Each structure stands twice: as structure tokens, then as C-alpha cells.
């Protein structure tokens, strides 16, 4: 029983570290200037994005492309500019956003 508990605690620490790392990446790439986790700023709240695309198998790829090249019209008239991120960073950011509840 102790081993199971220790494994669960360790998994929680790893998951928490991953969430913090991806939130740190969002801050480092200035995503948080227009987005917040749980409230609309200039762009939608990340939790809104996660809810909108929940269960959509194609969402991660499509959103990563939007993060890199920008987009408009999905969440209103204010466009999201292209972001200076690598493909890997875009995928990490989108995975983090889609994992929010």
C-alpha cells in the first residue's frame, strides 16, 4: 500500500512540474499578455479553449499551427498574431492548454 501511495505522490509531483513548466513557457513567450487560464483577456481563457476542443482529435495539430501562424475569427474579431515559437514549443503549449479543466 505504501508503494502505491508513493507512486501516486511521485506522479502528482511530475504532473505538477509539467504544468508549471508549460505555464512558464506561456509566460516566457508572452502568451499570458493576451490570455489567462480562467478568464478572458484580449483572447479567450485557456480553460474555454480546452472545453471547446475537448474530444477533438484534430485540435492539437490545428491549434499548434494557429499558435505559430496566428489566426482570427474563431473567438471574435481581434486577431491573434503569429508567435515566435518552435514547432515543439507550440505543441507543448497546446498540450498544456488542452489539458486544463
Tens digit of each residue's pLDDT (9 = 90 or more) over 1-57 = 454 444 444 444 444 445 556 899 999 999 999 999 999 999 999 999 999 999 999
Q: What pLDDT shows up at residue 17? A: 47
Q: What pLDDT shows up at residue 13? A: 43
Q: What pLDDT shows up at residue 19? A: 52
Q: What pLDDT shows up at residue 20? A: 58
* Tens of pLDDT, residues 23-36: 999 999 999 999 99
Eight-class DSSP state of 71: B
pTM, 2 dp: 0.78
Q: What pLDDT shows up at residue 21? A: 65
User: In angstroms, rounded to a whole number, what is the distance separating the alpha carbons of residues 97 and 45?
Assistant: 9
Cβ-contact 78, 43 below 8 angstroms:
yes
Amino acid at each position: 500500500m505504501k508503494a502505491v501511495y508513493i507512486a501516486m505522490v511521485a506522479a502528482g509531483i511530475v504532473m505538477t512540474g509539467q504544468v508549471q513548466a508549460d505555464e512558464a513557457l506561456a509566460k516566457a513567450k508572452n502568451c499570458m499578455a493576451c490570455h489567462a487560464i480562467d478568464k478572458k483577456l484580449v483572447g479567450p481563457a485557456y480553460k474555454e479553449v480546452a472545453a471547446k476542443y475537448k474530444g477533438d482529435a484534430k485540435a492539437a495539430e490545428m491549434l499548434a499551427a494557429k499558435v505559430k501562424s496566428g489566426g482570427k475569427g474563431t473567438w471574435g474579431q481581434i486577431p491573434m498574431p503569429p508567435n515566435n515559437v518552435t514547432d515543439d514549443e507550440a505543441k507543448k503549449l497546446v498540450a498544456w492548454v488542452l489539458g486544463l479543466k
